[in-house]
Structure 1
Amino acid sequence: MRKNTMVIIGSLIVFFIVAFAIWRGFPPFQLHTDKFPGLLHEAAVQSQDIAVKIYKSERKLFLYANGEVIGIFKIALGFAPVNDKESEGDGKTPEGKFVICYINKQTPYVYFYGLNYPNAEDAERGLKQELISQEEYKQIAMAAKSGNIPLWKTPLGGEVGIHGGGTWWDWTQGCIAVSDADILTLKEYLKIGTPVEIFP
């Protein structure tokens, strides 16, 4: 009886460890750079032309150096992943062209790379829909032109970025999540001004 109890307890412990690992996106449940073995670190930080392309429907982030793909990473999206982001709290991940405008190294999700959402196009839509004022539109448009942090506290939403935390399901408020291990890889490449294009 005691032996059976120990087996059950042991099985439960293993189950919860595996479930937690899956949820956090730890190996072997993350997609690394199998198509480009060794190239990621050979390209290194010295590359002059780093860019990111994200394909929401594929749940993949492509890392480019000098126009060539050097890494592919599995991602999770906002809890309502279909279609473009429209407003604060809608759970959608925005689509369009952005740049990294903010880096937070003190976050529960290891690193946070903030995007300049809303951009000029989002601001124009927000103005037409009367979600933002003319002054807010001007401030967002100016920030988009300079690559600075836009107004994040408007009905359009904000504080969207790339961070760790795991990829098992679409769980964020609109951000792009990768595994904790992958955000540590990406931090060697991502910087202020890195272009990020997000496709449906």
Structure 2
Amino acid sequence: MKRLGGLFSALCLAGLLAGLWMIWKIEPTPVPTPQPEAPGAPGQGWQWPDFRLPEFRLPEISLPDIFSRPPARPEGPIASPVERILVEKSARRMTVWQKDGPPKSFDIALGFSPDGDKSREGDGRTPEGVFRIDRLNRQSKYHLSLGIDYPQRHHREAARRAGHSPGGDIMIHGQPNQVPDGYKVKGDWTAGCIAVTNPEIEEIFAHAAIGTEVEIRP
């Protein structure tokens, strides 16, 4: 019996030792360490603040159109004394300045050979330079005319040296009396004068005076 009791005690001691060994060998289950969430990920934890830059738009700026011209304003009639007349041959334009009111431009016809300064009778050229109105003719064969003081002294002297006549009877006038009323002769058709329509010469004639300056440019 003593042997059986000793064996039983030995077996109990061995079982106790085996149990302690098994407990020591079992590793505890690792507890996961919380990781910080990625920026913008859903869930708990710190997140980047929802920050947006304000929307910026350039203001709309309309630049002026420098190539476009405003519509031309209609010119009023010559209704006060004429102070100056400018003839631009190359532009076929005559501008009349009046005392009260804006200037007014007229389309013109010139001599049948308009290029260059007049030098002799019959050359078909309109003279160039600064002149004066020296006569008003209501009996003109061109429906009213304003005579200018060509030839002047230097024109006569130049023509005398060249041995020919300087010509004369240079005028600002209307259409030939023999053409129908309202008709306008086409092109450059005068013998050296400056021609406008009949209503236009009536408008200028009514306010022009002897001594008014007339400048004729090439």
User: Into which bin does the TM-score normalised by the smaller protein fall?
Assistant: 0.5 to 0.7
Over the aligned positions, Cα root-mean-square deviation in angstroms equals: 2.1
Q: Give the alignment of 1:8-157 within 5 angstroms.
A: 35=73, 37-38=75-76, 40-41=78-79, 44-45=80-81, 50-66=83-99, 70-131=103-164, 155-157=165-167
Consecutive aligned runs of 4 or more in structure 1 exceeding 4 Å deviation = 66-69
Aligned equivalents of 1:35, 1:78: Cα separation in 2: 30
Name the TM-score, length of structure 2 as normaliser: 0.58
> How much does 1:77 deviate?
0.3
Aligned equivalents of 1:162, 1:98: Cα separation in 2: 12
> How much does 1:128 deviate?
3.2
Name the TM-score, length of structure 1 as normaliser: 0.63
For residues 1-53 of structure 1, the C-alpha deviation after alignment (integer angstroms, 9 at most, x for no partner) is: xxxxxxxxxxxxxxxxxxxxxxxxxxxxxxxxx64633633xx13xxx61101
Q: Is the 8 A contact 1:167 1:178 kept in 2?
A: no
Aligned equivalents of 1:73, 1:50: Cα separation in 2: 16
Structure 1 residue runs without a partner (length 5+): 1-33, 132-154
Structure 2 residue runs without a partner (length 5+): 1-71, 176-183
Aligned equivalents of 1:172, 1:56: Cα separation in 2: 13
Q: Is the 8 A contact 1:36 1:71 kept in 2?
A: no
Alignment match, 2:204: 186
Gap change, CA 1:127 and 1:72, over 3 Å in 2: same
Pick the structure with greater CA Rg.
2
Q: Is the 8 A contact 1:62 1:69 kept in 2?
A: no
Q: Is the 8 A contact 1:50 1:189 kept in 2?
A: no
Q: As a proportion of its length, which structure holds more helix? A: 1
Gap change, CA 1:173 and 1:50, over 3 Å in 2: same
